[in-house]
């Protein structure tokens, strides 16, 4: 029964009874106690470990909405606008023009073997490039013999070169599909919009299962990114878990050196409501220290910037038709009722406020049939929720995970185009959620935006958009509230706050090891704090060597 006591420059505990301290004792991967060395010495013999003497410890950060697919993407070439760190810690510069995209892909192309091996880039976001439309001619400059593709940051558009179109059987005149724009020559431009038209070409440019879901390498890469961003517990919000995938998750996370606890949610696709709930319930007992199972993710609508979110009157600012339901309301109701009865937690993706309203009303009805005083059903994204909706959520015992990063990356777009100025101000309303009493966390939705809870906290505190405007100052939250959101707040939404989320006796020894004190730097500098690494379950992981 070995006890290790770590000293630190400062330990921010998120335990209000002892918010700051200097030492933490760890035994068997759990926190034995916090306090002064004298206080902790009372537990008996110990080793004093002073490696963190000049670091600041926080509870291990918790990402409540991300996808391990982020780890898979780095097998392909990053061509996004913003600088982004890969699992090796290399920071890739953002690319700022189509020529830059072509140049970066050419570099990657030179390293490929064979004449017809595919090449895939990801992360393109033309809204920062004056909405330039990339064409197959651009990508033909990379290669005329290989299929070349570029996936947009939204995940909803794929550009391919001429060879890619040819292989997909789409290089022919007379195309009449809303997702396939046609050029002056009567042939497709190479832009493929919407999943159904992306798939046939995607297969040929490398957009296959390894891109779309997780494999062992991706899961390990994802964990390395977690260490680099101080994350010790992460949701994997929406896996089409089956027995094979489950085995892979158990194998990979079961390795002695796997540095993260993954919380894998079963997405609602592919199973009837009854099968879905039964399957999720059956998974619970297979949970391990590093793989939490038995929760459900449901997708109710699409995305706001894709105009596929369901929004209420008066609809989209640019007059676009209302979006799409991704699930029939009656099926949502059946899932809620069955899950409540089975004690299975459900997190529901609702982007638009109509989808949020449906989820709230469905919840209210379901709770009458299957009351549960502590269900903590959580709305994910919930970007457009109004104050009235937050009040209702609080009364119904629901939680929320707001998309703070989105506000930075697409806030200007929402202001100008999708929902217009007034509703853009209330998007991802962290302050309203908290003041109305809804348990709240904030997220990256990686790979949609980069994983990094300190960045996400920065976004919620400052509410700056990519153009630098502060949008919706009333919804800014304090640094303390933001740090709460990315630790104990996230733990509450996943019903794990008895195990993680604060540095206090009895909890898992999960720490984020920081070079600076987030409560002392300027709020504008939160995102720039260096992460040394993590401690997860008492095991130490240094970012520089992970």
What distances in angstroms separate CA 152 from CA 30, 91, 448, one per listed residue?
Answer: 42, 19, 10
Stretch that binds another protein, among 329-337, 438-446, 454-462, 469-477 (CB under 8 A): 329-337
Instruction: Return the HEC string of 259-313.
Output: CCEEEEEEECCCCCHHHHHHHHHHHHHHCECCEEEEEEEEECECCCCCCCCCCCC
Least Å distance, CB 325 to another protein, is 4
Pairing mode, if any, of strands 261-267 and 231-239? Answer: parallel
Stretch that binds another protein, among 27-35, 109-117, 177-185, 254-262 (CB under 8 A): 177-185
- For residue 41, report the phi and psi dihedrals to the nearest 5 degrees: -60, -25
- 510's tokens: 């999960």
Task: Decide whether 104 or 297 has the Cβ nearer to another protein.
Answer: 297
For another protein, the binding residue among 112, 324, 470, 473 (CB under 8 A) is 324
Instruction: Specify the residue for token string 């709460």.
Output: 484
Nearest alpha carbon to residue 119 among 202, 217, 210: 202
For another protein, the binding residue among 101, 127, 241, 271 (CB under 8 A) is 271
For another protein, the binding residue among 325, 336, 455, 532 (CB under 8 A) is 325
Least Å distance, CB 145 to another protein, is 23
For another protein, the binding residue among 17, 131, 176, 545 (CB under 8 A) is 176
Which residues in 378-404 are b (16+ Cβ under 10 Å) and which e?
bbbbbbbbbeebbebbbebbbbbbbbb
For another protein, the binding residue among 54, 93, 251, 330 (CB under 8 A) is 330
Interacting positions 79-108 with another protein (CB under 8 A): none
Stretch that binds another protein, among 22-30, 93-101, 174-182, 368-376 (CB under 8 A): 174-182
Three-class DSSP category at 501? coil
Task: Decide whether 249 or 325 has the Cβ nearer to another protein.
Answer: 325
Pairing mode, if any, of strands 20-27 and 3-12? Answer: antiparallel
Pairing mode, if any, of strands 231-239 and 61-63? Answer: parallel
Task: Decide whether 122 or 408 has the Cβ nearer to another protein.
Answer: 122
Task: Decide whether 41 or 187 has the Cβ nearer to another protein.
Answer: 187
Quick check: 177 binds another protein (CB under 8 A)?
A: yes
Interacting positions 105-124 with another protein (CB under 8 A): none
Quick check: 275 binds another protein (CB under 8 A)?
A: yes
Least Å distance, CB 354 to another protein, is 7
Interacting positions 139-168 with another protein (CB under 8 A): none
Instruction: Determine the Cα–Cα distance for residues 150 and 158; give it in Å rounded to an integer.
Output: 6
Site string for another protein, 351-380 (x = CB under 8 A): ---x---x----------------------
Quick check: 386 binds another protein (CB under 8 A)?
A: no
For another protein, the binding residue among 12, 150, 252, 327 (CB under 8 A) is 327
Least Å distance, CB 199 to another protein, is 5
What distances in angstroms separate CA 503 from CA 4, 58, 425, 437, one per listed residue?
Answer: 15, 7, 35, 24
- Asked whether the beta carbons of 202 and 149 are under 8 A apart, the reply is yes
For another protein, the binding residue among 94, 166, 183, 326 (CB under 8 A) is 326
DSSP one-letter code for 94: P
Quick check: 169 binds another protein (CB under 8 A)?
A: yes
Torsion of CA 410, 415, 417, 419, to 10 degrees: 100
- 299's tokens: 């997708």
* HSE, side-chain direction, 13 A CA sphere, residue 26: 20
- For the chain, state the CA radius of gyration: 23
Stretch that binds another protein, among 189-197, 259-267, 420-428, 509-517 (CB under 8 A): 189-197
For another protein, the binding residue among 16, 19, 44, 195 (CB under 8 A) is 195
Least Å distance, CB 103 to another protein, is 32
Q: How many residues bind another protein (CB under 8 A)?
A: 33
Interacting positions 294-323 with another protein (CB under 8 A): 310, 322
Task: Decide whether 198 or 440 has the Cβ nearer to another protein.
Answer: 198
Quick check: 528 binds another protein (CB under 8 A)?
A: no
Task: Decide whether 87 or 302 has the Cβ nearer to another protein.
Answer: 302
Task: Decide whether 207 or 246 has the Cβ nearer to another protein.
Answer: 207
- 493's tokens: 């939404």
Maximum CA extent, the chain: 81
For another protein, the binding residue among 180, 231, 293, 424 (CB under 8 A) is 180
Nearby residues of 59 by Cβ (< 8 Å), 6 or more positions away: 12, 13, 14, 487, 488, 500, 501, 502, 503, 510, 511, 512
Least Å distance, CB 312 to another protein, is 9
* HSE, side-chain direction, 13 A CA sphere, residue 11: 29
For another protein, the binding residue among 196, 242, 251, 542 (CB under 8 A) is 196
Nearby residues of 289 by Cβ (< 8 Å), 6 or more positions away: 29, 261, 508, 537
Instruction: Determine the Cα–Cα distance for residues 199 and 201; give it in Å rounded to an integer.
Output: 6
Stretch that binds another protein, among 9-17, 36-44, 268-276, 469-477 (CB under 8 A): 268-276
Quick check: 270 binds another protein (CB under 8 A)?
A: yes
DSSP one-letter code for 6: E
For another protein, the binding residue among 170, 207, 298, 488 (CB under 8 A) is 170
- 248's tokens: 């892979």
Least Å distance, CB 165 to another protein, is 11
Instruction: Determine the Cα–Cα distance for residues 411 and 384; give it in Å rounded to an integer.
Output: 12
Quick check: 328 binds another protein (CB under 8 A)?
A: yes
Three-class DSSP category at 532? strand
- For residue 27, report the phi and psi dihedrals to the nearest 5 degrees: -140, 130
- 238's tokens: 């929406």
Instruction: Specify the residue for token string 């042939």.
Output: 187
Least Å distance, CB 234 to another protein, is 24
Contact residues: another protein, CB under 8 A: 169-170, 175-180, 194-197, 199-200, 203, 269-272, 275-276, 310, 322, 324-331, 354, 358
């Amino acid at each position: 029964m070995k006890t290790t006591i770590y000293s630190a420059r400062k330990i921010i505990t998120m335990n209000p009874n002892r918010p700051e301290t200097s030492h933490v004792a760890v035994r068997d991967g759990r926190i034995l106690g916090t306090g002064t060395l004298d206080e902790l010495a009372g537990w008996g013999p110990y080793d004093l470990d002073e490696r963190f003497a000049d670091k600041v410890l926080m509870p291990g950060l918790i990402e409540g909405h991300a996808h391990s697919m982020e780890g898979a993407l780095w097998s392909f070439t990053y061509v996004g606008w913003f600088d982004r760190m890969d699992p090796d810690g290399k920071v890739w510069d953002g690319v700022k023009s189509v020529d830059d995209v072509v140049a970066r892909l050419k570099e990657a192309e030179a390293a490929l073997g064979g004449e017809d091996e595919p090449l895939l880039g990801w992360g393109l976001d033309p809204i920062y490039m004056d909405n330039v439309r990339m064409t197959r001619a651009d990508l033909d400059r990379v290669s005329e013999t290989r299929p070349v593709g570029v996936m947009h940051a939204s995940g909803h558009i794929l550009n391919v070169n001429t060879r890619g179109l040819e292989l997909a059987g789409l290089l022919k005149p007379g195309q009449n599909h809303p997702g396939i724009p046609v050029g002056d020559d009567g042939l497709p431009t190479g832009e493929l919009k919407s999943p159904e038209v992306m798939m046939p070409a995607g297969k040929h440019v490398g957009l296959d299962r390894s891109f779309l879901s997780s494999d062992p390498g991706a899961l390990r890469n994802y964990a390395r990114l977690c260490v680099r961003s101080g994350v010790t517990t992460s949701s994997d919000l929406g896996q089409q878990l089956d027995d094979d995938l489950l085995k892979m998750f158990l194998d990979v996370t079961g390795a002695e050196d796997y540095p993260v606890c993954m919380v894998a949610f079963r997405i609602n696709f592919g199973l009837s409501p009854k099968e879905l709930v039964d399957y999720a319930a059956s998974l619970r007992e297979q949970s391990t220290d590093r793989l939490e199972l038995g929760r459900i993710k449901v997708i109710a609508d699409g995305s706001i910037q894709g105009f596929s979110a369901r929004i209420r009157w008066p609809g989209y600012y640019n007059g676009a038709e209302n979006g799409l339901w991704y699930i029939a309301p009656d099926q949502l109701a059946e899932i809620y009722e069955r899950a409540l009865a089975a004690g299975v937690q459900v997190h529901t993706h609702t982007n638009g406020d109509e989808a949020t309203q449906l989820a709230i009303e469905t919840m209210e009805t379901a709770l009458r049939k299957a009351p549960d005083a502590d269900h903590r059903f959580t709305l994910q994204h919930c970007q457009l929720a109004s104050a009235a909706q937050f009040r209702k959520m609080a009364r119904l015992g629901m939680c929320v995970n707001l998309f703070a990063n989105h506000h930075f990356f697409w806030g200007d777009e929402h202001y100008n185009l999708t929902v217009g100025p007034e509703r853009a101000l209330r998007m991802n309303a962290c302050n309203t959620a908290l003041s109305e009493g809804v348990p709240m966390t904030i997220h990256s939705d990686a790979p949609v935006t980069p994983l990094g809870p300190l960045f996400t906290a920065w976004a919620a505190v400052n509410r700056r958009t990519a153009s630098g405007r502060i949008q919706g100052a009333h919804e800014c939250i304090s640094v303390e509230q933001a740090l709460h959101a990315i630790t104990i707040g996230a733990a509450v939404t996943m019903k794990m706050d008895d195990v993680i989320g604060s540095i206090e006796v009895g909890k898992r020894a999960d720490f984020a090891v920081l070079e600076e004190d987030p409560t002392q730097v300027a709020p504008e500098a939160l995102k720039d704090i260096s992460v040394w690494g993590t401690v997860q379950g008492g095991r130490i992981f240094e970012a520089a060597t992970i």
